[in-house]
Amino acid sequence: MNTWTVTALVLGQHRIDKTIFWPESPAGEKFWVPVTAAAVTDGRHRIVVDTGHHDTQWVNAHMAEAVCAPEEELMTALRDGVGWRAEDVDYVINTHLHFDHCGHNRDFPRAVFVTHRREWQTATDPNAEQAELYLPELFDERAISPDRWRFVEGDVPFLEGLHLIETPGHSAAHISVLAQTAEGTLCIAGDACCTLRNLDEDLVGSTVYSREQTAASYAKIRRSADRILPGHEPKIQPFQRHFPRIRK
């Protein structure tokens, strides 16, 4: 089996109310959470999973308090963490198309972009509840030529030792990446699981498209993987390569 190395990238921080992720927390209590992405390679292919938010000032004005240190800028993090340039990347996989997961897609000049077909359809014509989370100008033809997109459906092999699985709930057609690593199967979960506590305690936060689908995706992740890289886990460190075990 092909073995992959996964390196966590931290692409800034958002300060949010804890109840957004952990509903039982005291109202008004806030904390900083990282915006995470991943650099994934088997020595032949170079893949980036999610690309962070596009503009820290925009996030501050429209979404939440946000910061992004110079070393957390995506291209700097890629250079410092794995020695890649933008033009080295073969594929960008977007777990979903919310603003903080596709913000720098346009910066990869030769990559093929991958997401779920229905996620694309939802992102270009979202319902009222999720409309503010999608900025089509980050991923549509204004940013990326349509012929550079590849759409998937179902649970599918992508490359040897790398699978894409449907994990809806946070968005209508969210996907996660299963990578065979030296430590077993790692789930790069995006916002299918925002923090490890969400998975460990079956906590469904407030920023979800479907509570029922979110809970079902938690169960699927537990069945499918040994370890996890959540989308906004506060304990994830820049360039981390060893990830938390999943509590079965």
Q: What is the pLDDT at residue 1? A: 79
> What length is written for the chain?
248
Is the distance from CB of 3 to CB of 42 less than 8 angstroms? yes
The residue to which tokens 């650099």 are assigned? 39
- pLDDT at residue number 248: 87
pLDDT of the residue at 128: 81
Q: Quick one: tokens of 39? A: 């650099």
pLDDT at residue 9, rounded to an integer: 98
Q: What percent of the chain shows pLDDT beyond 90?
A: 95
Q: Enter the pTM of the model.
A: 0.97
Average pLDDT, the chain: 97
- DSSP 8-state class, residue 111: P
pLDDT in tens, 80-98: 999 999 999 999 999 999 9
Q: Map out the domains of the chain with their CATH numbers.
A: 5-230 (3.60.15.10)
Residues above pLDDT 70, as percent of the chain: 100
pLDDT digits (tens, 9 = 90+) for 159-188: 999 999 999 999 999 999 999 999 999 999
User: CA torsion 29→215→246→19, rounded to 10°?
Assistant: 0
Using pLDDT thresholds of 50, 70 and 90, give the confidence band for residue 31: very high
pLDDT in tens, 214-230: 999 999 999 999 999 99
Q: Looking at residue 74, what is its pLDDT?
A: 98
Supply the pLDDT for residue 126. 86
The HSE-up count of residue 103 (CA atoms within 13 Å, CB side) is: 20
Res. 38: pLDDT tops 90: yes
Contact, 118 vs 215, CB < 8 A?
no
Q: Which of 196, 205, 203 has its CA nearest to residue 231?
A: 196
The 10s digit of each residue's pLDDT in 108-162 is: 999 999 999 999 999 998 888 788 999 999 999 999 999 999 999 999 999 999 9
Number of CB atoms found within 10 A of residue 125's CB: 10
The CA distance from 28 to 18, in Å, is 8
Q: Which distant-in-sequence residues (6+ apart) come within 8 Å of 107 by Cβ?
A: 51, 74, 75, 86
